[in-house]
Amino acid sequence: TNKSTSAPHSFHFYSSLIYISRILSVSMVYAGYAPGTSSGAYAEISDLSKALRSTGGSPGMISNVASLETMLKICSNVAKAPLELKFRRIRLTNPKVAALLDGAPTQILTTFLGWTVEAGTGEETNETFLTLPADKQINQGNVREIFDAVEFRKKKAADDARAAAARKKPMDPEKAKMMAQLEADRKERATREAVTKDSKNQWHKGGDGAQITRAADVGIGCSKGG
């Protein structure tokens, strides 16, 4: 009786463990961690993430966080409501949209996420649209990559601002005095070490100025008949 009742419980217990481990593995992937790596070790980022995080203002690089946030909103809308046509067709000739998506953002969306740039027809002949074809989808993994890129760029901007402020901030007089004294001490030690080293070399080599007294100079070891 005990065996027949314990077996189903054991089966359900191990099934639950397998299910939980699968959920954790998926969560780690979306969080940017690779299953099986040491804790805190990031998995290698994708080409999409590299493109989103690139900085410097060169062609192909997104110059501001606002553009990334717009990309995040567009892709998040599609991921949440994939059948909503209004989310899959963005008017690029809208000045506000164009200012945020023109250039690198549109290039990344078309290269990595399947969006296309299409000219309008009929009454929309003079319009241009960013369109996601029916056979293309945006998933939550894509959305997470864009979100992580936004956070990455915000942190970098904050770090750069702090570094710039630190460079401009005048040094505290006491700290400047201490730093100057440390530098002077360093130079003095370097000079002493150089003099000591030179003196030792002169003694061993018998160079100029070295007064070396040999045994023969005082008559030690010399024969009287010599």
Which amino acid is located at 171 in the chain? M
pLDDT score of 143 = 96
| Whether residue 174 has pLDDT greater than 80 | yes
- Determine what percent of the chain is predicted with pLDDT higher than 90: 42
Tokens of 198: 């030179």
DSSP conformation class of 33: B
Q: What is the mean pLDDT of residues 11-28?
A: 45
Q: Which residue has the tokens 């054991």?
A: 10
38 versus 103: the higher-pLDDT residue is: 103
Cα separation, 223 vs 10, in Å, equals 105
Contact call for residues 75 and 138 (beta carbons, < 8 A) = yes
Q: Report the pLDDT value the prediction gives residue 81, as an integer from 0 to 100.
A: 96
pLDDT band with cut points at 50, 70 and 90 for residue 30:
very low
User: What is the Cα–Cα distance from 160 to 141, expressed in whole angstroms?
Assistant: 28
Report how far residue 45's alpha carbon sits from residue 156's, in angstroms, rounded to the nearest whole number.
17
Per residue in 112-139, pLDDT (tens digit) is 999 999 999 999 989 999 999 999 999 9
pLDDT-derived band at 41, boundaries 50, 70, 90: very low
Distance CA 52, CA 153 (A): 9
pLDDT at 91: 95
Position 1 pLDDT exceeds 80: no
- Dist CA 159 CA 44 (whole Å): 23
Residue 166: predicted pLDDT: 82
Structure tokens at 71: 């990309």
Q: How far apart are the first and last CA of the chain?
A: 119
Q: Please say if the pLDDT value at position 72 is more than 60.
A: yes
Cα–Cα distance between 88 and 137 in angstroms, integer? 10
**Cα–Cα distances in angstroms (integers) from residue 174 to residues 90, 178, 187, in the given order:** 59, 6, 20
Q: What is the mean pLDDT of the chain?
A: 77
Ranges 29-33, 70-74, 97-101, 196-200: which has the least confidence: 29-33
Torsional class of 172: left (φ above 0), alpha (ψ -120 to 50), beta (otherwise): beta
Average pLDDT (52-81) is 86
- Strand 116-119 relative to strand 89-91: parallel, antiparallel, unpaired? unpaired
- Name beta bridge partners: 33: 42
Give the count of beta carbons closer than 10 Å to the beta carbon of residue 87: 19
